[in-house]
Amino acid sequence: MSTKKIIMIEDNPANRMVFKDLLELEGFEVTSLEKAEDALPMAKELNPDLILMDIQLPGMDGLTATKILREDPNTQAIPIVALTSYAMPGDRERALVAGCTGYITKPIRVDSFRDEVKRCAGVKEEDSNKEAECSQSPSEDQKQEALEEEGVT
Ligand code: MN
């Protein structure tokens, strides 16, 4: 299986670091960017398996960037998972209408973050590392606690 590529757009440095670590632990090759403007040419160049798109960004917001990616034949088929820190009624619908494939609310839960990314990136269960799954309970709880202690949202 070839390595799956993810472009992550997130303006919060702490989130960028944590999300990148989590994704790399799952075997993804991650390109992280701070601005949606930079993601548009990068998406064409890399043709990633998934784009993780923060919605609240300085400059171009994530929903606008998603609409542009969806209108471009070169990028319209790439799955996009929205990241939003304000879970207001209607946010999920707005993200899906803009063309997002999936939706993650911050602060993240490690297990649902990972599940949503893998589902949208088309990672099949047989590709997963069985040993990692067997030992997941304590370490996942510890990771979640660590996130909460750091106040990462
Ligand atoms: Mn943001």
| pLDDT, tens digit (0-9, with 9 covering 90-100), for 11-43 | 999 999 999 999 999 999 999 999 999 999 999
Ligand 1 centroid–CA 2 distance in Å is 30
pLDDT given for residue 115 in this prediction: 96
pLDDT of 1 > 70? The answer is: no
pLDDT given for residue 134 in this prediction: 45
Ligand 1 centroid–CA 105 distance in Å is 12
pLDDT of 82 > 60? The answer is: yes
Q: Which pTM does this prediction carry?
A: 0.81
How far from the centroid of its chain's Cα atoms is residue 66's Cα?
13
pLDDT given for residue 61 in this prediction: 96
Query: For residue 51, which phi and psi values (nearest 5 degrees)?
Result: -120, 125
Amino acid at 40: L
Ligand 1 centroid–CA 69 distance in Å is 19
Q: Tell me the CATH number at 20.
A: 3.40.50.2300
Number of domains observed in the structure of the chain:
1
Range of the domain at 84: 5-150
CA angle 53/102/11 to nearest 5° reads 15
Ligand 1 centroid–CA 1 distance in Å is 32
Confidence of residue 152 (pLDDT cuts 50, 70, 90): low
| Spatial distance between the Cα atoms of 133 and 127, rounded to a whole number of angstroms | 12
pLDDT of 149 > 50? The answer is: yes
Where does the chain show beta strands of DSSP type E? 5-9, 29-33, 50-54, 80-84, 102-105
Ligand 1 centroid–CA 134 distance in Å is 34
| pLDDT, tens digit (0-9, with 9 covering 90-100), for 102-144 | 999 999 999 999 999 999 999 986 655 544 444 444 556 666 6
| pLDDT, tens digit (0-9, with 9 covering 90-100), for 46-65 | 999 999 999 999 999 999 99
